[in-house]
Amino acid sequence: MENPTEVNFNPMPRIGDQAPDFVAQTTTGPMKFSEYAEGKWTVLFSHPADFTPVCTTEMSGFAIRQEEFKALNTELVGLSIDSLHAHLAWVNNVRNNTGVYLNFPIIADIDMKVSKLYGMLQPNESETAAVRAVFFIDPSKKIRLIMYYPLNVGRNMDEILRALEALQVSDEHKVAMPLDWRKGDKVIVPPPKTLAEMDARIADTSCEKVDFYLAKKSL
């Protein structure tokens, strides 16, 4: 017989899946995610709890660099398993103590509905606090990249922005990104798929070639 107190944990969505839709209360008002995310990229991220030290540094980091996300047509959405009142008190506390205003929506997921929908609860880590998940969601509502961190390790904001820009540049130019790619670096040209394409690549002098299957170019 099922234990009535047992928490049900959904498997996390996968890269390429449509982002699960939801309705939730946030610090900026009610949100239907599919409507809020219409026509733009979204970075949906969770943190374990309000009024905790690592989470405060992370949420402040997102807020400080919010304009960089907006420049990439990207909205931020935070989440933790806390009440709306706790969120508001924490936002005000951070603003009073550091001058940083967390003015992006933070989901009050006290019933764990969204956390379970996105697989943010990892039972071997915690059954009541979301791990540090980051979902990159494109304008078609498709999940493009997922990052997961444990409760005791903060995220890297430079990497989140770098990965977001890499996804967008890759989509625009139909290329791939090499190790440590940053804006302005050369990109990888898709490898040949036929013998004719291979011969054309070998003869091509317009790109930098390590070999026919690994070629780079500037955009």
Annotated binding site for substrate: 132
CA distance linking residue 170 with residue 173, whole number of Å: 5
Q: Known catalytic residue: 55?
A: yes
The values of phi and psi at residue 120, to 5°, are -80, -15
The number of angstroms, rounded, from the C-alpha of 218 to the middle of its chain's C-alpha atoms is: 27
Q: Which residue numbers belong to the known binding site?
A: 132
Half-sphere exposure of 41 (CA within 13 A, CB side): 22
Is residue 49 within a helix (H) or strand (E), and if so which, with residue range?
none
CA distance linking residue 10 with residue 117, whole number of Å: 6
Q: Which of 37, 43, 44, 55 is catalytic?
A: 55
Q: Decide: 94 and 100 in contact? Cβ < 8 Å.
A: yes
Residue 92's contacts (CB-CB under 8 Å, 6 or more residues apart) are none
Return the active site residues: 55
